[in-house]
Structure 1
Amino acid sequence: MAQKPDYNFDFEQVAADSAIGWVGSSNKDYRRSLDSTIAKSGNYSAVLEFIGEQPSFGTWTFVLPENYPGKKITLSGYIKTENVEGYAGLWMRIDPQIAFNNMQQEGISGTTDWKRYEFTLTMAPERTERIMLGALLAGKGKLWVDGLKVTIDGKDIATVVPLEKPAAKRDTAFDTGSAITLPDLNMKQVEDLKVLGLVWGFVKYHHPTIAKGDVNWDYELFRVMPAVLAARNDAERDEALVEWIQKLGPVEKGGDKPSVNAKLQPDLDWITTSGFSEALTTLLTDIRQAKRTDSHYYIGLMPNVRNPEFKNETAYERMEPADDGLRLLALYRYWNMIQYFFPYKNLIEEDWKDVLGEFVPKFADVSDMEGYMLALLELIGRVHDTHATIRGNPVLDKFFGERHVPVDVHFVEEQAVVTGYRHDVWGKAMGLEVGDVITAVDGKRIADRTKELMKYAPASNYARKLRDIGPMLLRSNDSALRIDGVRDGRRFSKVLNTYEPGELKFNNPFYVEDMDFKIIGDDIAYINNGSFNAKDLPLYWDRMKNRKGLIIDARNYPRHFPIHQLSGYLMPYPIPFVAISRGSIQQPGFFVVDPPTSVGAVNGKRYDGKVVILVNEMSLSSAEYHAMAYRVHPNATVMGSATAGADGNISPIMLPGGIRTVISGIGIYYPDGGETQRVGIVPDIEVKPTIRGIKEGRDEVLEKAIKLIKEE
């Protein structure tokens, strides 16, 4: 029986002026403290106070040390606020992506006295990896919190016996590090480590013993790696692998049932073509044919959508970058997730096994966090998935430059062009004008700098890579940088000051906050798909139904997912628009396409005018999905330029060092099987902004759409 843990929900257990068991966000704009003069009960309350220049959010955080049986978990507690601009609240999250609430909807703001608040989340103990809770302050002001209480199905959590940890979590042998020290690798050792990565990942996702959670497969890697490195020849390596795998026990055959209708087949020929010993080949073949269920400790499929859910992957947040074993674990973990659960693996355009061999020495040779992060970023880039990158990492921010020139730069006509300002005063004071072309930064030509950054800009296609590289060009760790440029055919050079990001306003066209609907002239209705809310459709329908044309602007990301409701107003009957492929737990690497999904309602409304859908490289994922749906309108035209080419619900991935990334987790295709990943939504009429149009402040794509609708 598991031992009951201790809790400190009343903040009364204090050490070194902090509440024992509680941590907070690293955001320096928010101060966490204990207050011994203002408390709801006992001697202390916990305080969150905004003290910085750039409001975002700060937290008090408590991680529940166990998993618990039950159906409902309730968090309650008392909150007091002072001059809150934004909102305050309690919060709780059940990982991975099971349930979340931060009380934003309550909108606790201003100055309020102590008041009790409460909310309940639905539990899923069989899938839960971690439960976190605490208090949150979003925006400015000050928050006090006290007297928290957690109940499960109405019982105080202190009286609930935690679930017994699986054997994989009871293995603590390498909790402080892998204890692996790599030698200077020779070619044979590099090949042996490639083989180890192949075998380790294959056994992880195919062996029933690992599926049950009976083995910590990370730690087993550290146990076998020394023997593989010490092997003098292939026979010794294979013998070490056989002895290691056999400890998992025999398997019952009955799996590996191929699907003739599979969109993607698993890549397992290497088992019989790699020249392994007969014993190793036979053992791996038996495991391939093992009987498996849909229950697995390390991998699941999310409810309904069925994109992969990578479970029980330890983050190793305190990883030392010099830990050779953990770096190789990161490589093996990510590589095998792609190998077996990435729906677009066939579009990588190179043998993914060769990539594993290429990156073994890259991960082995680095010893600091920057080198490790760049190796990860380069590896992720080889997947060619715009979803898949690493964002908000301070190590990468340092590498690319922590300070920014206060202007926006985007590629227009294949040139780096100033498109706006990140500070109205400082930006214009730089002497740069919208439409200026940047040709060099600190003496390096933009073409050369762009080439350097390409491998660190994971994206599905070239257009999206340029979109992501543009804002990186004027970053530096110095207080100023020098640029060369061209304006109206005349060359110029300037020294530009750089600023901390908190001092600037970053213009993000990905999220749109302005108007969601308007009438252009007398003939055309315009819907901004980024901010449009389907609940407003009945109100807007009478204003749009008789117009000559409808423009749907999808050059952004939809916040409200209006796809089905709006399509029901456009098409009077269902029309197929998408086919989706999904992976398999029983047969890792198989992806099968479901029957096509339709949009348009039975006996729906009907819009008879022209429909023009605007897209560009900012149209990513859900925006692309929406564009596919609207495109089936019989009088639709897609206009603009190549989209980001990454569609399908994302699946988060945790890597050693606490590094988070994601992949597109399901395959999105046209009903006839046509690709959308990397290709994007190809416009019927290509229209791109020009430097002249940028200088004149024009939206040339929108202008072209208006012209098309007005044409007879």
Structure 2
Amino acid sequence: MKTIILFLSIFFLTFQSCSQNQNTKKFNLDFEEYNRLLGLPNKWFKWGKYNLEADTLHVRSGKFSAKINSGEKEGSFGSIAYAIPANYEGESIQLEGYMKIKNIENGFAGLLLRIDGESEILGFDNMKDQNINGTKDWQKYKITLPYPDGAKTIYVAGLLDGTGEAWFDDFVLTIDGKNIQTLKEIEKPILKAELDKAFDLGSNITFPKLDDKRITNLDVLGRVWGFLKYHHPEIAKGNYNWDYELFRILPKYNQVKSNAERDALLVNWIDNLGKVEPCKSCKDTSENAFVKPDHAWINAFGLSAELKDKLNHIYKNRHQGNGFYINAVADRIKFLNENKYYNMSYKDAGFKLLALYRYWNMMQYFFPYKYVTDKDWNTILKEYIPKFINSKNKLEYELITILLISEINDTHATTSVGFNNVQNRRGEYYPSFKLQFIQNKFVVTDYYNPEFKDASKVKAGDIITHINEKPIESIVDSISPYYPASNKTSKLRDISRDLLRSNKKEISIKFISNNQNKQHRLPLYEKSDLNLDWYKWEGKCYKILDGNIGYITLQFIKKEDIPVIKEAFKDTKGIIIDIRNYPSTFVPFMLGTYFVSENTQFAKFTIGNINNPGEFVLKRGDEIPKPSETYKNKLVVLVNEDSQSQSEYTAMAFRAADNTTIVGSTTAGADGNVVSMYLPGGLLTRFSGIGVYYPDGTETQRIGIIPDVEVKPTIEGIKNGIDEPLEKAIGIIKKE
């Protein structure tokens, strides 16, 4: 009897221990939980184009591993990924796991670890530098990163780039050496919006045939939805998942027969959100506001008096301070709790409409330059409703989203992360040389890899006229709308980097060399085979040119260089600062103070008012402090289309100095802090978050930094290896 009792006790303790271990497995990192519907390990999802599956034949342990197979899709990548809320504290995070590979060529395989903040990537490693390829049996690999403040989501993944097959198994994620499966989460209140999972698997929204009346109604809904999102106190408290509330109202909304029925439904929707109490701290828009909120639409759609009264009451008693979807820290706007919906179906019209509503309203209330776009922003929502709803697949969705993003005319509006289908379509192979638009021609300017010159046949100064029998001009016209930019200069800059990209390893080009028309099958190369850092020189960021002229490139400047530069250049005839690049160190004050004789203001800013979305107030900007010593001779600053954002801001600081000449060509026209946001499908984009102006109020957005002396490169100069803007700068100083 005692033996039986002892056996039962041991069995009970063992069972209890096993049960506890099962309960502590919060995340399916060993791939053992299987989703029959998707044919994948449960809660794992797809990044990229390659085929994914749960494999039972090749496993390191247990029943399942994850497999990636490139199939015939050479030149792309595939990744199986898992998202974990970053509800943990620590200093270091490590992913370890097992990987097996077969016949991997023209790329690599690896584990991937990425830590995202609210709307930006804070840490990333995909083992690309380890160049793991070929065929290898199961091996253990590790990635370690600092665990950053502000982390919101941790992504772990297995990645295949190139061709072949890769298997992954037995992932373990630790923070400060502690397994995340058992690590205690940070305790924080769970809001009602976070508990709403009703539409995680799809919106189930279908739209009747879109005629003008229905599109207008959806225009109204998008405006009301966005207005409530950023003004209604109950939404700001996190009491509603506002994405999903859109999906709840849409089925009834799509069936309304009249404006009266539409407005009554919206009034009922608002009433159900809860009572809006009087706001004692809400202030009217300042008469001196540089940009005022645009609520003219409330009176532009023939809305009922009752609906208008509801909206106006909410505005007068709107939420104050940070909220569930938006906050502001040190004058910088941050979007919060915007679900990325990586697994959304691109046939799901509800999520596609949500993407449009989300973006349009973000710009409506938080983009400081809405008033300088080519089109009236009020016309954009209606124009794009049918485009988003009718997009047929992920590629079309990405392309329509890029067109929408392009409407803000902002070079900060990037479309690289998440737009995988567009990037894949542009091509995985690149030319071995750099190109620019010079004198309205598409010109070879330099080689990334001189050893490829013989194979490429072109040389500096040659003009590319056709690609695969198509004239350059017609290609540029066709793709131009898909390159968001503040001005034509920066648009052509970005297009020039992609024109010769292809998914084929060879393309046909026609070009002019020494006034002779030529044709060639141009070989292309993977990025990893090219020296894209060709422009970097060895040694210091500064030197003395002939004639005792100081030269500084900000591309490689370090903080510790600045006192050395001041001492080395104090007796020079003049100084040239080259900002045809992006500065590696923020120098407007540390270096700018060397060129002024007193406290000197050089910029003003417009800052968004989170308490009154849509209001931007002009504030006195930054000032260069009075120095202990001032450089007395001429300063020449070089700029061009590669001068963007911090480069432009730095040029403004130097322009305010005592004896400065700006030489070169118009800059990118995108200044100010950058705000990031995600759109459904995991599309990451950005925009200029504050307005930047000269002290007299002169615009910089879209205009850029206008040089005092315009000098652009010429084709002849490129042929002869002459940096004409630099030569002009030297001439200005020598003349002095």
TM-score (norm 1): 0.84
Partner Cα separation in structure 1 for residue 420 and residue 85 of structure 2: 28
| Partner of residue 176 from structure 1, selected from 186, 192, 201 | 201
Determine if contact 2:666/2:707 at 8 Å carries over to the other structure.
yes
Q: Which residue of 2 aligns with 1:434?
A: 460
**Range that drifts further, 698-707 or 290-299:** 290-299
TM-fit CA distance, 1:245: 1.9
Trace 1:497-576 onto structure 2 (pairs within 5 A).
497-502=522-527, 504-505=529-530, 507=532, 515-576=540-601
| Partner of residue 256 from structure 2, selected from 203, 206, 231 | 231
SS at 2:589's partner residue?
Answer: helix
Determine if contact 2:24/2:181 at 8 Å carries over to the other structure.
no
Determine if contact 1:509/1:618 at 8 Å carries over to the other structure.
no
Partner Cα separation in structure 2 for residue 203 and residue 511 of structure 1: 51
Distance 1:201 1:408, change over 3 A: same
Deviation track 1:107-152 (CA, whole Å, cap 9, x = no partner) reads 999xxxx99999875756xxx6434579999xxxxxx999864369
TM-fit CA distance, 1:176: 0.7
Partner Cα separation in structure 2 for residue 173 and residue 342 of structure 1: 31
| Partner of residue 327 from structure 1, selected from 352, 357, 378 | 352
1:357 aligns with 2:382: yes
| Partner of residue 410 from structure 1, selected from 418, 431, 436 | 436
Q: Which residue of 2 aligns with 1:386?
A: 411
| Partner of residue 452 from structure 1, selected from 478, 481, 485 | 478
RMSD across aligned positions (CA): 4.4
Distance 1:613 1:359, change over 3 A: same
Q: Which residue of 2 aligns with 1:641?
A: 665
Deviation track 1:616-671 (CA, whole Å, cap 9, x = no partner) reads 00000011111111111110111100000001111111011111111111111111
| Partner of residue 312 from structure 1, selected from 332, 337, 350 | 337
Distance 1:196 1:493, change over 3 A: farther
Determine if contact 2:602/2:622 at 8 Å carries over to the other structure.
yes
TM-fit CA distance, 1:94: 5.6
Contiguous gaps of at least 5 residues in structure 1? 40-45, 47-56, 81-87, 138-143
Distance 1:668 1:259, change over 3 A: same
Q: Which residue of 2 aligns with 1:395?
A: 421
Distance 1:510 1:62, change over 3 A: farther
Q: Which residue of 2 aligns with 1:67?
A: 87
Q: Which residue of 2 aligns with 1:209?
A: 234
Distance 1:463 1:596, change over 3 A: same
TM-fit CA distance, 1:438: 1.9
Partner Cα separation in structure 1 for residue 191 and residue 640 of structure 2: 48
Q: Which residue of 1 aligns with 2:616?
A: 591
Partner Cα separation in structure 2 for residue 317 and residue 12 of structure 1: 19
SS at 1:541's partner residue?
Answer: helix
1:631 aligns with 2:655: yes
1:609 aligns with 2:612: no
Trace 1:690-709 onto structure 2 (pairs within 5 A).
690-709=714-733
TM-fit CA distance, 1:559: 1.5
Distance 1:212 1:513, change over 3 A: farther
Q: Which residue of 2 aligns with 1:293?
A: 320
TM-fit CA distance, 1:710: 0.4
1:683 aligns with 2:707: yes
Number of residue pairs matched?
Answer: 677
SS at 1:336's partner residue?
Answer: helix
TM-score (norm 2): 0.81
| Partner of residue 618 from structure 1, selected from 622, 642, 656 | 642
| Partner of residue 683 from structure 2, selected from 641, 647, 659 | 659
Distance 1:10 1:478, change over 3 A: closer
1:96 aligned partner, one-letter code: E
TM-fit CA distance, 1:14: 9.2
| Partner of residue 248 from structure 1, selected from 261, 266, 273 | 273
Determine if contact 1:231/1:237 at 8 Å carries over to the other structure.
yes
SS at 1:677's partner residue?
Answer: coil
1:410 aligned partner, one-letter code: Q
1:266 aligns with 2:293: yes
Deviation track 1:13-67 (CA, whole Å, cap 9, x = no partner) reads 8999x99988998799xxxx9xx9x99xxxxxx9xxxxxxxxxx99998743463
SS at 1:527's partner residue?
Answer: strand
Determine if contact 1:460/1:645 at 8 Å carries over to the other structure.
yes
TM-fit CA distance, 1:529: 0.9
Determine if contact 1:509/1:556 at 8 Å carries over to the other structure.
no
Determine if contact 1:442/1:481 at 8 Å carries over to the other structure.
yes
Q: Which residue of 2 aligns with 1:130?
A: 153
1:619 aligned partner, one-letter code: S
TM-fit CA distance, 1:90: 11
SS at 1:183's partner residue?
Answer: coil
Distance 1:89 1:574, change over 3 A: farther
SS at 1:637's partner residue?
Answer: strand
SS at 1:264's partner residue?
Answer: coil
2:350 aligned partner, one-letter code: G
Partner Cα separation in structure 1 for residue 120 and residue 460 of structure 2: 45
Partner Cα separation in structure 1 for residue 408 and residue 466 of structure 2: 30
| Partner of residue 493 from structure 2, selected from 453, 467, 471 | 467
Q: Which residue of 1 aligns with 2:165?
A: none
TM-fit CA distance, 1:263: 1.4
1:165 aligns with 2:190: yes
Determine if contact 2:508/2:521 at 8 Å carries over to the other structure.
yes
Distance 1:118 1:388, change over 3 A: closer
Partner Cα separation in structure 2 for residue 657 and residue 486 of structure 1: 43
Partner Cα separation in structure 2 for residue 514 and residue 395 of structure 1: 40
1:577 aligns with 2:599: no
Deviation track 1:395-436 (CA, whole Å, cap 9, x = no partner) reads 112333443343332100111112233443444323222211
**Range that drifts further, 409-418 or 571-580:** 571-580
TM-fit CA distance, 1:579: 1.1
Deviation track 1:528-555 (CA, whole Å, cap 9, x = no partner) reads 0111112122222221011111111000
Deviation track 1:491-528 (CA, whole Å, cap 9, x = no partner) reads x2414234353354264699888741111014211110
| Partner of residue 6 from structure 1, selected from 19, 25, 29 | 25
TM-fit CA distance, 1:356: 1.0
2:354 aligned partner, one-letter code: L
Determine if contact 2:505/2:525 at 8 Å carries over to the other structure.
no
Partner Cα separation in structure 2 for residue 584 and residue 200 of structure 1: 20
**Range that drifts further, 436-445 or 590-599:** 436-445
1:640 aligned partner, one-letter code: G
Partner Cα separation in structure 2 for residue 528 and residue 376 of structure 1: 37
Partner Cα separation in structure 2 for residue 64 and residue 115 of structure 1: 20
Partner Cα separation in structure 2 for residue 176 and residue 147 of structure 1: 27
Partner Cα separation in structure 2 for residue 468 and residue 504 of structure 1: 21
Partner Cα separation in structure 2 for residue 528 and residue 284 of structure 1: 54
Distance 1:90 1:507, change over 3 A: closer
Determine if contact 1:129/1:312 at 8 Å carries over to the other structure.
no
Deviation track 1:436-465 (CA, whole Å, cap 9, x = no partner) reads 112222332222221112211110001111
SS at 2:685's partner residue?
Answer: strand
TM-fit CA distance, 1:277: 1.1
Distance 1:152 1:596, change over 3 A: farther
TM-fit CA distance, 1:253: 3.2
> Larger Cα Rg: Structure 1 or Structure 2?
2
TM-fit CA distance, 1:272: 2.0
**Range that drifts further, 162-171 or 384-393:** 162-171
SS at 2:309's partner residue?
Answer: helix
Partner Cα separation in structure 2 for residue 8 and residue 222 of structure 1: 29
Q: Which residue of 2 aligns with 1:673?
A: 697
Determine if contact 2:119/2:677 at 8 Å carries over to the other structure.
no
Identity %, equivalent residues: 37
